[in-house]
Structures are given as structure tokens and as C-alpha cells.
Structure 1
Amino acid sequence: MTVLLTRSEVAAVTHTSDSTIKRWEATGALPRVKLGRPKPNRVRDNRPVRYRVKDVAALAGVAPEDIYTALATAEVGDQK
């Protein structure tokens, strides 16, 4: 099973901002996964975007287990 992270979770784990994650995504440094199927005849693709733990770990230069540990201790969004 592949675990997918939201942009906020990636930002919390890497101690960066959402705009940095967007920049990494735009430059191709952080591959993204688009959820669902694209709708025909749509100009804009508004599908939700997620990131694989292994890709985040590779970008950060750590093991995937370290990402899971950081997720368990990070405060993401409204969670406390």
C-alpha cells in the first residue's frame, strides 16, 4: 500500500512552507500524484494532488521511516 501525503503534511514534515512545496512540484523535484480521473472537455485540471512518502524521503535525503516518525509528531492543520 502506498501512503500519500497532502501538501500541508509534506510542508510540516520538511519544515517548509506550502509555497516551497508548490515550487518543488513545478520544477519537478517532487513528483505528484493526481487523484481520480480527468474529466473530459475541461480546460483546468482541478483534481486533488498528493505526494508519495518515498518521493518526499528521497527529496529530504532521509529514510521513509523517518517521514512516518515525523508525521506522528508533526502538527498538521487543525490537528493538535
Structure 2
Amino acid sequence: EITGEPVHRGGEIEGLALKPAGSGGLFNEIGLKAGDVLLSANGVRIDSETLPGSIANLIGDNDVAVLEIRRGAEVQTVTFEIVR
């Protein structure tokens, strides 16, 4: 599982600072690093309207998850298949 803490910029929530929960298997498997900031999940921007809620809720019932993350100064897209 993956958890996150809100990241604020200019008084607004910019995203979630990600960290692994439990064994961190999925977190590591999809190439995330502690401190990556989740900016959007499947096109849904992370802001005060999307919080609170788990990252799994943002992904929903989709078969593929597309995460936009910021790692340092670089914005990246992480795409992975959901196996249910």
C-alpha cells in the first residue's frame, strides 16, 4: 500500500508526499521513491477537493493507473496495470 501526506504550496494543496506502507512491495515495484509528490491520479489533480481519501479511491475501478509525480524538480508519469 501507498500513503501520503499533503504538500502545500502558496497556501494550496499541491499534492501528496508519498511513502510506502507495510512491506512497500507495490511502492517499490512501480518505481516510486519516498518523497515523490503525487500531483494527479488518472487525470484527477490532488487538491483539497480530492482529500481526504486513499490513493486507491483516486484510481477507482480502472485497469490502468496513471500517476503524475514530481521527483525533485522533475515531473514524471508512472503508469502501471492494476491486477485484481
When normalised by structure 2's length, the TM-score is 0.31
- Greater strand proportion: 2
When normalised by structure 1's length, the TM-score is 0.32
- Greater helix proportion: 1
Q: Relative contact order (alpha carbons < 8 A, sep ≥ 6): 1 or 2 greater?
A: 1
